[in-house]
Structure 1
Amino acid sequence: MSLLNGLLGNYSQLSPQELTAQYGGFLMPNEAIQTGFRLVRDTFIVTDSRIILVDHQGVTGKKTRVASIDLDSIFDVTMETAGTGFDDSEVTIHYIASPYYRSNNISTAAYKFEFGKKFNVQPFYVAMLTVAQQNKKRLNG
């Protein structure tokens, strides 16, 4: 069923041990993987300091793009649960994309994660929302 979910555009959860074995080379010193999810070839990993987005490109998937979103930059999170029919659950994080969080010219971006309708997105949403609320207090305090 996880392959079918992947083909339909839904992430399936992986263990931190699996993720460390495959993607440990992308970790910074003393960084630890908390959780992660795979979509056929693409993966996103949540560590104690960032979200790592791994995008395997091309026919063979050997070409890989790796991007990071610092947890410190997340300022808002929205969740949409699956409805009837072919709807998926979605969690969208909004984050500061510019390197200076307290400048007058900050740029922001959003990234949407889609999960299968049977996947309970609430724990991921609550974890990201908690990070966002702490960041708002820190940035505006």
Structure 2
Amino acid sequence: MIDFKNSDYVKLKQIDPSSVLKDVQPLLIEQEQIIGAYKAIRDYCIFTNKRLIAVNVQGVTGKKKDFSSLPYSKVVAYSVETAGVFDLDSELELYFSSLGKVKFEFTGSSNIIQIGQTISRYIL
């Protein structure tokens, strides 16, 4: 499991989901669709219509990967912070019933409101 308190899930930048599809495709279930993908330096996260998949790329070569599946059905609350004039980054905090808080930071170009709407659609 990824230690989200000490992870590099900061400054996630939106990427083309097809660039990481080969890694997560085997994990997807029937009728699960990728909504968006965001990447930090090496680690990345995938938002689907059912869950968030956080991928921790490990080792020197990056061939070893840790996949954490965070289903929206276990989210009890969430918080979004939009980018401002001087603070160009946005944040997403998810509160899971058995895991606790998971925090992600996105670059200003990310559409945090759309991410919040997607999560709302599946948890409300």
TM-score (ref. length: structure 1): 0.68
Displaced runs of 4+ in structure 1, greater than 4 A? Answer: 84-87
Q: Could you list the per-position Cα deviations for residues 113-133 of structure 1 after superposition, in whole angstroms to 9, with x for gaps in the alignment? A: 10112333111122213333x
Find the counterpart in structure 2 of residue 113 from structure 1: 104
Q: Could you list the per-position Cα deviations for residues 66-89 of structure 1 after superposition, in whole angstroms to 9, with x for gaps in the alignment? A: 111111111211011234545621
Q: Distance in 2 between matches of 1:13 and 1:87?
A: 14
Kindly tell me: are residues 17 and 117 of structure 1, through their superposed partners in 2, closer, same or farther at Cα, counting changes over 3 Å? closer
Shift of 1:27: 1.9
Kindly tell me: are residues 120 and 68 of structure 1, through their superposed partners in 2, closer, same or farther at Cα, counting changes over 3 Å? same
SS in 1 for 2:20: helix
Q: Distance in 1 between matches of 2:83 and 2:55?
A: 25
Letter in 2 for 1:24: Q
**Relative contact order (alpha carbons < 8 A, sep ≥ 6): 1 or 2 greater?**
2
Note if contact 1:33-1:47 (Cα within 8 Å) is conserved in structure 2.
yes
TM-score (ref. length: structure 2): 0.76
Find the counterpart in structure 1 of residue 95 from structure 2: 94
Kindly tell me: are residues 118 and 50 of structure 1, through their superposed partners in 2, closer, same or farther at Cα, counting changes over 3 Å? closer
Kindly tell me: are residues 87 and 18 of structure 1, through their superposed partners in 2, closer, same or farther at Cα, counting changes over 3 Å? closer
Shift of 1:92: 0.6
Find the counterpart in structure 1 of residue 121 from structure 2: 130
What are structure 2's unaligned runs of at least 5 residues?
A: 1-7
Number of positions where the alignment pairs a residue of Structure 1 with one of Structure 2: 116
Letter in 1 for 2:89: D
Structure holding more helix per residue: 1
Matches within 5 A, 1:1-141: 9-83=10-84, 85=86, 88-97=89-98, 108-132=99-123, 134=124
Which of 1 and 2 has greater Rg? 1
Report the aligned-residue RMSD.
2.3
Q: Distance in 1 between matches of 2:83 and 2:103?
A: 14
What are structure 1's unaligned runs of at least 5 residues?
A: 1-6, 98-107, 135-141
